Structure 1
Amino acid sequence: MNMKNLIKDLKTFIILWSTQSLSQLGSAMTSFALTLWVYEKTGSALQTALLSICSYAPYVLMSIFAGALSDKWNKKKVMLVCDTFAALCTVMVLALLKTDLLKPVHIYGLNMINGLMNTIQQPASDVAMTMITPKKYFQKTSGMRSFSNSLITILNPVFATALFAFGGMESVICVDLTTFVIAFGALLFGVKLPAISDEGAQSGLTLWESAKSGLKYLRDHDLILVLILFLAGVNFVASAFDAVLPAFILPKENGGEKVLGIVTSCAGIAMLTGSFLVTLLPKPRNRIRVIYLTMLISLGTENYLLAFGRTPALWCLGQIIGWLPVPFMSANLDVILRTTIPVDMQGRVYSCRNTLQFFTIPLGTFIGGFMVDKVCEPVMASDFGAGLLTALFGSGKGAGAAMMMFILGVAGTAICLVFGRILRKYRYTD
């Protein structure tokens, strides 16, 4: 394909995608630096974890209504307003920091506001990306978005840590605000969204009726609903894995913080590679098959390699195999959603998707930690754990986490096989 024509066709998308990604990097750096600041001030893992909980709670609770608002309102204005509120929260953190009044409770409150703004903005942003992208480029642009998200995951801890060490919290916030100004200006002056019919927006409906229409769409289009429920199960296993991984690596003699950092970074590198490949490869013959087979490879292979692996090299290999297929799943799911759901319904449906697909993440995180601390580690430390279990999962602290990895491998494999059997009866064509 002629690169000149590609850039011409995707000019508006490239402007919005690149500047918004830059702003997301700045926001992610601030979030990471705030984590360092809170832990430095409190020394409490629980208080530090509350940062994520406060950001995520509005997303889970309010997503179902956010899409209804997004479909009723102008997409560009929604994005501009939400970006502005998020920037004001960052300015407030800087002001409190400068006056030596900043406390963790302030950050919790501001994170909840930020989380609410992100909840409203995301469906508007998703629909805007659909509006400015020609259908033939859906897979390519999805790969590009996955690529930038992976790059942000890799870069934000590195940049944030370096800036935090060099110039403190203030320097990180200044970089964040600079990226906001660039993204805001590009959206305001460089992006024009095409008009869409308001017939499907149902402007006469109440907020609750509009939100219910998103749920009704999912009920009437069972392929989309089954895919969402499948990914909810995947998210449950993946979030439990994230909770177990530190308990698996940190206590081991050949583990520790540096090894955990290396193993974790392998996930970002694998996703970056997968995202790059997605942008180059042609569309598959069967997108549904790609979705459940990639997750079967991911959840099956990774958990078993870590459960039975004894060396960091195997742990890194597990992360690479586990995360490399994720962009392929995301890109194909993205294409199915964008080509199946009408543009004027996408905000509502995406928001219902977010609630149904992501509510399992905090649940999985809690279950993963609970199982390691209260079930698996005590079993491995007891007489019952001696013999076969010790031969399989090792001994000492961390063996219970290995046992939990195996349980997650079995659960993930079962979820993929069950939903794979269900999904095989569906047919989808671009």
Structure 2
Amino acid sequence: MKHLVESWKYPSILLLGIGVSNLGAWVYLIALNLLIFEITGSPLAVAVLYILIPLATMFTNFWCGSIVDRLNKRNVMIFLDIFRALCLFLVPWLLDASLLLLYIIVFLINMATSMFNPTSMVYITKLIPSEQRKRFNSLISLIDSGAFLLGPALAGVLFIIGTPELGIIINAIALFLSGLITLLMPNLEKQSQAINKDEEKLSIQLLMKDFQIVMNFSRKSVYIMLVYFLFSSVIVMTAAVDSLEAVFAKEVLSLSDSDYGFLVTVAGGGIIVGAFINTLFVKKIAISFMIGLGSTFVSVGYIIYSFSNSFFIAALGFFILAFSLAFANTGFLTFYQNNIPVDVMGRIGSLYGLVEATLIIISTGIIALLAQVISIQFAVITGSLVMLLISVILCTLNLKSSKSNYYQPTRLEKLEVN
């Protein structure tokens, strides 16, 4: 018991920080949407907020990996949390000043988030021993799903007793607390070299050198990067199809606002149930099954939803896709951590994240065009079928017996020894 408590001391603190940050993020997202719409009365002004997310990723990811892999990860995480908190504190005072300035602040927050994600991934991989990663990732999935349900509910309570501005301030405080919690974590890179050395200064030459490193790793690790790319493509298609979710519910299924809200709640229930079962049985399920079958059933859920003509069928599809997503995400995160060396993980995650953001913008545009030119249901069905095709190919790759060594938790450790 003493060993168990000791081994989960820091992972538990980290999970607390992630939970606090995720809850705050949901409150911020809903509050900002309401505030922008209240000020402008324009759905387009609200849509710009969602466009800023992949744009920030595209602007940030081609260079941030080079910084992430060379700096102290814990210190970067603390800095980014506090930076985002300070930016959020400015938001309520900018609402009446300038919409453009507000968008710039939101863009900076999204840039910091884009940089935080690969940084935290590297730190988590270094902190969590290989044999604990599946369990830890399943708990992250449970926390994410809990935030998905509790975040909007917390936002609703805050808006009843206060205002959306209060929700923004609450998220700023949550991020500040997350930074303080990270201060309690061990400094794993005390001897880390700073990037301000002459040979390590951020430059075009350094970026080209790092790009070559990522390409060389990709060529030597074709199977790993193929699994990475196919899983990312499934996520890209979910984002594209989700962009029409509200319109599909209103125009195709003829749902009222309350019915649509209940449909989203069903998805939240699916995530919670899936994440809970995933946490209970994570040790007994192979990583390859979690990725392959999880992704396939996510696609099956979208197929059911896209062909639905009633609330019940759509709700069934939502529950299946949300339930399966918990397994797919846990499996992929564990696969990623077990197969990508930590010294290049930031650069690989950032560059491929840039590709993913670009594909999200392109695929969302294509889906929207199909909805405009042909029909909403045709667009959603097409996106879901493409997703199913990709996930079946991914599942076939995952379940190849000849590739089973890629799903062993100690694979990288064995390679380093050899």
TM over 0.5: yes
Match of 1:405 in 2: 380
Cα contact 1:139–1:278 (8 A) shared by 2: no
- Give the drift of 1:358: 3.9
- The answer on 1:27 being equivalent to 2:19 is no
Separation (CA, whole Å) in 2 of partners of 1:175 and 1:307: 37
Cα contact 2:159–2:167 (8 A) shared by 1: yes
Match of 1:192 in 2: 186
- Give the drift of 1:165: 4.1
Separation (CA, whole Å) in 1 of partners of 2:91 and 2:31: 12
Match of 1:251 in 2: 251
- Give the drift of 1:49: 0.9
Cα contact 2:84–2:175 (8 A) shared by 1: no
Separation (CA, whole Å) in 1 of partners of 2:306 and 2:252: 13
Task: Report Cα offsets for 1:66-108 as digits up to 9, x if no partner.
Answer: 12211111111111211122112112113334xx42x432221
Cα contact 1:244–1:369 (8 A) shared by 2: yes
Match of 1:69 in 2: 67
Which of 8, 11, 14 is equivalent to 2:12? 14
Task: Report Cα offsets for 1:367-387 as digits up to 9, x if no partner.
Answer: 2222112222xxxxxxxxxxx
- Give the drift of 1:410: 2.3
**Given the superposition, is the C-alpha separation of residues 196 and 328 from structure 1 closer, same or farther in structure 2, using an over 3 Å criterion?**
farther
Q: % of aligned pairs identical? A: 21
Cα contact 1:239–1:362 (8 A) shared by 2: no
- Give the drift of 1:244: 2.3
Q: Which amino acid aligns with 2:295?
A: M
Separation (CA, whole Å) in 2 of partners of 1:288 and 1:243: 29
For residues 251-330 of structure 1, the aligned pairs below 5 Å read: 251=251, 254-283=254-283, 286-299=286-299, 301-330=300-329
Cα contact 1:66–1:348 (8 A) shared by 2: yes
- The answer on 1:415 being equivalent to 2:366 is no
Q: Which amino acid aligns with 1:233?
A: S
Cα contact 1:372–1:404 (8 A) shared by 2: yes
Structure 2 stretches lacking a partner, 5+ long: 201-205, 410-418
Q: Which amino acid aligns with 1:48?
A: V
Match of 2:118 in 1: 123
How many residues align structurally? Answer: 397
**Given the superposition, is the C-alpha separation of residues 410 and 182 from structure 1 closer, same or farther in structure 2, using an over 3 Å criterion?**
closer
**TM-score, length of structure 1 as denominator length:** 0.85
Cα contact 1:67–1:211 (8 A) shared by 2: no
- Give the drift of 1:331: 1.2
**Given the superposition, is the C-alpha separation of residues 14 and 404 from structure 1 closer, same or farther in structure 2, using an over 3 Å criterion?**
same
- Give the drift of 1:145: 1.0
Separation (CA, whole Å) in 2 of partners of 1:197 and 1:355: 30
Separation (CA, whole Å) in 2 of partners of 1:258 and 1:19: 33
- The answer on 1:149 being equivalent to 2:130 is no
Cα contact 1:63–1:351 (8 A) shared by 2: yes
**Given the superposition, is the C-alpha separation of residues 78 and 246 from structure 1 closer, same or farther in structure 2, using an over 3 Å criterion?**
same
Match of 1:379 in 2: none
For residues 8-407 of structure 1, the aligned pairs below 5 Å read: 8-97=6-95, 100-101=96-97, 103-188=98-183, 190-195=184-189, 204=199, 206-251=206-251, 254-283=254-283, 286-299=286-299, 301-376=300-375, 401-407=376-382
**Given the superposition, is the C-alpha separation of residues 130 and 96 from structure 1 closer, same or farther in structure 2, using an over 3 Å criterion?**
same
**Given the superposition, is the C-alpha separation of residues 134 and 420 from structure 1 closer, same or farther in structure 2, using an over 3 Å criterion?**
closer
Task: Report Cα offsets for 1:374-409 as digits up to 9, x if no partner.
Answer: 222xxxxxxxxxxxxxxxxxxxxxxxx333333233
More divergent stretch after superposition (125-134 vs 155-164): 155-164
More divergent stretch after superposition (262-271 vs 66-75): 262-271
- Give the drift of 1:38: 0.8
**Given the superposition, is the C-alpha separation of residues 163 and 90 from structure 1 closer, same or farther in structure 2, using an over 3 Å criterion?**
same
Counterpart of 2:69 in 1: which secondary structure?
helix
- Give the drift of 1:320: 0.7
**TM-score, length of structure 2 as denominator length:** 0.87
Separation (CA, whole Å) in 1 of partners of 2:32 and 2:254: 30
Match of 2:416 in 1: none
Which of 397, 400, 403 is equivalent to 1:426? 403
Q: Which amino acid aligns with 1:351?
A: S
Counterpart of 1:310 in 2: which secondary structure?
coil
**Given the superposition, is the C-alpha separation of residues 358 and 279 from structure 1 closer, same or farther in structure 2, using an over 3 Å criterion?**
farther
**Given the superposition, is the C-alpha separation of residues 360 and 266 from structure 1 closer, same or farther in structure 2, using an over 3 Å criterion?**
farther
Cα contact 1:295–1:325 (8 A) shared by 2: yes
Q: Which amino acid aligns with 2:379?
A: M
**Given the superposition, is the C-alpha separation of residues 194 and 95 from structure 1 closer, same or farther in structure 2, using an over 3 Å criterion?**
same
Structure 1 stretches lacking a partner, 5+ long: 377-400
Separation (CA, whole Å) in 1 of partners of 2:305 and 2:285: 32
Separation (CA, whole Å) in 2 of partners of 1:207 and 1:308: 46
Separation (CA, whole Å) in 2 of partners of 1:226 and 1:187: 33
Match of 1:395 in 2: none
Cα contact 2:19–2:143 (8 A) shared by 1: yes
- Give the drift of 1:60: 2.8
Counterpart of 1:426 in 2: which secondary structure?
helix
Separation (CA, whole Å) in 2 of partners of 1:354 and 1:344: 17
Cα contact 1:27–1:176 (8 A) shared by 2: yes
Separation (CA, whole Å) in 2 of partners of 1:253 and 1:77: 49
Cα contact 2:32–2:168 (8 A) shared by 1: no
Task: Report Cα offsets for 1:5-38 as digits up to 9, x if no partner.
Answer: 4332111121122123202321331222011111
RMSD: 2.4
- Give the drift of 1:178: 2.5
